[in-house]
Each structure stands twice: as C-alpha cells, then as structure tokens.
Structure 1
Amino acid sequence: MPSRDTDRLADAAGITQRWAETAPEKRGGLVAELQEQGRIIAIVGPCTGQAEAPAEAALSVGDDPASDITMRDFDVSLVADAFSLTRRLPRALDINRIITLVALVLALPLAVFTDLHWAVPATILATGLVAVSLQSTRVRAGIGVYPPPPKD
C-alpha cells in the first residue's frame, strides 16, 4: 500500500508510528516484535501473500478472506472514514450525555416540585432531545467535534 494511504489511515486512527510498504516476508516478524513491546497492532491493506502478519495482528483489514474485516474492492477512504468516525464518537457521546443530564436536572424538579404548567418541563426535555439529535447529525457530518475528520 502506498505510504500516502498509510499516512491517511494512520492520521484518521490517531496512530503516530507507522510502517508503510513493509515487505510481506518481514511483516510477521515486525508484528511479533511490536507485540513483544506491548503494542496493539492493526494491519490495513491488501493481504495477499502475508498470511502470518494478519493472523498475528489484533486487527486486520484487507482483501484476504482471513482478515478480520474483509473488503472485496479495497478502498482506503472507507477505512479512513471509519477510523475517523470511531475517534469522534466518544466525545459526541459525552456531549449527548451532558445535554440529556442537564435537560433532566432542569425538567424533573420543575415537574415534581412546582405548580408550573406541564408544558414547561416538557419543552425543556424536547429541547434536550432536539439538541442530542442535532449533535448526532453533526457527528455524522464531521462538523464541530474533536478531532475533526481528515481533509482530503
């Protein structure tokens, strides 16, 4: 796989060290050596002729049926997008939890302990629901969340 593709995948996944275009006969040894250092290894790319390395790695993505994730027509951009989305999800989930908690903390005491019309707490809860939905839409689009998706 060209190093440009390796760089794109590594950046999307937040990986700081990468080994691009490693010869198939050296991949298995490299994976074993890095695992001995306590590292978690992922192999991404066409797997033809490198059966030992994907079997040793924690995750393998490629065109070989032995890969953990098999892609018939290997497309680097799909894998990079998946890695990028995976990195954005934890922060988005945290934001959604905070929005939900704030809406509940505001709405429940108003509903239980005050004589306000029921529509006031219902409006607060509905606003929280809309905010969570908008945040989820923003994550899918890659807008306003950290880390931002890689630029092509």
Structure 2
Amino acid sequence: MNAALLVACVLVAALPGVFAYAAPVTLWIVRARARGAGVFLDDRRALTIGPRIDTVLLDRWGTVTTGQLRVVAIDPVEPDHERNLRWFAGALGHAADDPVGRAIARLSSRGKLSQVQQHHGGGLSGSVDRHPVRLGSPEWLGMEARNGIGVTVGVQVDARPIGYITVADEVRPHAADDVTRLRAAQVEPILVSEDTEGNTRQLADACGITQWYAATPADQRERLVDEHRRRGRVVAVASPTPVPSADLILSDVESTEGIRLLDLDVGRVATALALTRSAARATVRSRRTGILLGLVGIGLAVASVLSLPLAIGYAVLACAVVVATAAPAAPTTSVTSPDPAPSAT
C-alpha cells in the first residue's frame, strides 16, 4: 500500500468518528441553551417534529396573557362610593376561589370576614366588618346588566348597590412581538379561548392574532387539532391541558410528553420552536461540513500533499471544525423568567 492510499484510508476511517461527535454535541448545546430560556427538551422526538410545525394553538390562559385577570374599571354608583366599593368588594374577594374573585381581592386587604356563602350562578355573599356584602352577577343583585368587554360584577353593601367592577385578561406586554416572531418563522398562531366571542376577539386583536376560536373549552380542542391536521398542517398546542392528538405538545406540566416549559408564555413557545429549528439546521450544517472536509482531505492525500502525521492532524482538526459547526445559533428570546404578579389597579 503506497503512502497516499494509507493516508486516504486514515481519513476515511476518521469520518465516522467526526459524524459521531456532531449529533450529541448539537443536542447537548441546544438543551443547555433551552434550559436557560425555561425550555426543557427532554423528549428527543420533539427535536424532530419541532422544525416541521407550521401551526400553534395558543390557549388563552398563560400564553398571551399572564393567566390572571386584572381590574380594568371601577364604576361606583356615586363618586364618593369608590373607596367603599374597593374595600368591601376586595375584602369579600379574598374568600373567592375563581379568577374574577382573585383579581378583585387585590383591591384591598381581607378585613373581618364571616358568614361567607357561594351562590352558584350568582356570586358571593358574606359579612365584612359586620356589613352584609354581595358580589356577583348584576342580574342576581337586581342591578342593571353591563355587557361590555371583560366580566363586570355588581357590588351590594347593606342591601344597597354601590357600584360595578370590571375585570379582564392581563395581556403579556411582549405578546404582540412574540406573535410576530412566530409568524416570521412561518408558524401561524391561533388563539383558543373558552371566553365569549367579544372578549376573545379583543384579546386576539391586542396580540396581533388574526385567527381565533371563542367559547371552546378544553374538551373540544382535539376537534380543532384534527381539523387543521386534515388540511395538511403540522400542529402544536400550547396549553395547560395537553391535547393528545397534537403533533407536538408544549405544556408547563412536568409529566407531559413533548416540550415542557417553565410557563406557557408565548415568548417561550416561540423560543422552543426556534431552538428545534436551530438544532436541525446545525445538524445538517455539521454533516455537510464533515463531508466537505473529508473529500478535501482525501483529495490532498491522493495528491500526496499530506503525510501520515499531517493526515492524523487534519482528521483531528476536521473533527474540531465539525463539532464547532454543530453548535446551533442562540434564538432571540423575550423572556427568561415568569412575569411577576400583576399589581392592583
């Protein structure tokens, strides 16, 4: 065997090792970067499917919103009733276990609560500092209904109406920018909500989302996924309630297959999908680089440019270059930790 052939054999034998390093290094780097962004890519299947996603269904709760409601309007019957409206409604709200009550509770401290009762379909009643208070549907309280955006409740103290309080979704400040990021990556965001058509439309408009589904509870979302898949779409679902028929699940539930997120922030959703695409591109790039370097090395060997020691050095250098090209680019991210709790209005 002449020297050129021996050198070529050394390089050909080194190529499998070069490729063997590329994939694990890519996976290790992308997982490390993902963890820093609150994205956990423990399911290797997600790295395969993620780059093909072209549609993502975003649950209203926690994706484009913080997952909480906030008070957006306080409307006392008389101007001097506002302080009492805040105090009595907020105090009674501390006894509520629903999002509306929790939002109202941030208006004041707890006070001395007693005789609290939940009236299903109506609201909440109780005694605050020995004053009888009722908080709930205006119709239940015999008050005029309000049909604007959000959810409006009436407040009654000492058997007299003192005003209205309106709560609505708290939109994440960067939601519109992250929706734009998804669309720029050729992923169509679709908002899914169990709320009314008017509220869902307003939330979608605030986030720059053009397609949305209102009045759609969690148990009806599998139908939406199937509908879009029949159209040839590859569908991901970002929701606290996983949809098994989705091609990819993004959830903040630890035991869920797919991609686990620190929270469902739409920015984290965009980052997770960007990481899977970046990893796929890096893998292809490292393979092409390895093939090119291998062919160049064999050509140099045939031309008797490389000696055996130089061929070994070239193989080591090629391995280092391929590993370097296996590093995926860090995606743009707008979040690194969950948003703080919203302050009281």
TM bracket (short chain): 0.5 to 0.7
Which of the pair is proportionally richer in helix? Answer: 1
In the other structure, the counterpart of 1:102 is 292
In 2, Cα distance between equivalents of 1:36 and 1:113: 56
Q: Could you tell me whether the CA contact under 8 Å between 2:271 and 2:333 is conserved in 1? A: no
Are the equivalent residues in 1 in contact too, given 2:179–2:189 (CA < 8 A)?
A: no
Could you say which residue in structure 2 is the equivalent of 1:131? 321
**Does the 8 A contact of 1:110 with 1:121 survive in 2?**
no
Equivalent position of 1:16 in the other structure: 187
Give 2:244's aligned amino acid: A
Structure 1 residue 98, shift from structure 2 partner: 2.3
Give the percent of matched residue pairs that are identical in Structure 1 and Structure 2: 21
Q: Residue 249 of structure 2: SS of its match in structure 1?
A: strand
Residue 68 of structure 1 is aligned with which of 224, 234, 257?
Answer: 257
Aligned residues: 139
Consecutive unaligned residues of structure 2, counting only runs of 5 or more, are 1-61, 65-174, 195-215, 335-345
Unaligned runs of 5+ in 1: 143-148
Larger strand proportion of the pair = 2
| TM-score with structure 2 setting the length | 0.33
SS state of the match for residue 307, structure 2?
A: coil
For 1:39, which of 228, 233, 248 is the aligned residue?
233
* Distance in 2 separating the partners of 1:55 and 1:5: 28
Moved more, 63-72 or 22-31: 63-72
Checking the alignment, whether the CA contact within 8 Å between 2:240 and 2:251 is kept in structure 1 is yes
The CA deviation at 1:81 is: 3.6
Taking CA–CA contacts closer than 8 Å with sequence separation of 6 or more, which of the two structures ends up with the larger relative contact order? Answer: 2
Look at both structures and tell me which one has the larger radius of gyration over its CA atoms. 2
Residue 339 of structure 2 corresponds to residue 150 of structure 1: no
- Structure 2 partner of 1:146: none
Assess, with a 3 A threshold, how the Cα gap between structure 1 residues 94 and 37 changes in structure 2: closer, same or farther: closer
Question: How many Å apart are 1:43 and its aligned residue?
Answer: 0.8
| Of 228, 246, 266, the match for 1:57 | 246
